[in-house]
């Protein structure tokens, strides 16, 4: 029972992270496009930050998915 509750909480957290990944992925693509237009010099660093943060979020999502699968067994 406790594992099932924990799995439900992890699923909610994973769903929240899924939405954040979608938002950051769109931001990364937009910032990448702006970088190619050379509008502002610091946009390149914002795009790099967005890409790194998106990768961290994907890693977190993968970790949560693995934990959920372990708890359901």
Largest Cα–Cα separation, the chain? 55
The pTM is what?
Answer: 0.77
User: In which residue are the tokens 């769903």 written?
Assistant: 15
Predicted local distance difference test score (pLDDT) of residue 25? 92
pLDDT digits (tens, 9 = 90+) for 9-56: 888 888 999 999 999 999 999 988 888 888 778 888 888 999 999 999
Q: Average pLDDT of 60-72?
A: 86
The span from the CA of 43 to the CA of 26, in Å, is 15
């Amino acid at each position: 029972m406790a594992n099932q509750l924990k799995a439900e909480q992890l699923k909610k957290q994973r769903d929240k992270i899924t939405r954040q990944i979608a938002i950051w992925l769109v931001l990364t693509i937009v910032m990448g496009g702006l970088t190619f237009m050379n509008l502002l010099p610091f946009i390149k660093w914002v795009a790099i930050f967005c890409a790194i943060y998106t990768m961290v979020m994907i890693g977190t999502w993968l970790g949560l998915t693995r934990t959920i699968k372990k708890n359901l067994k």
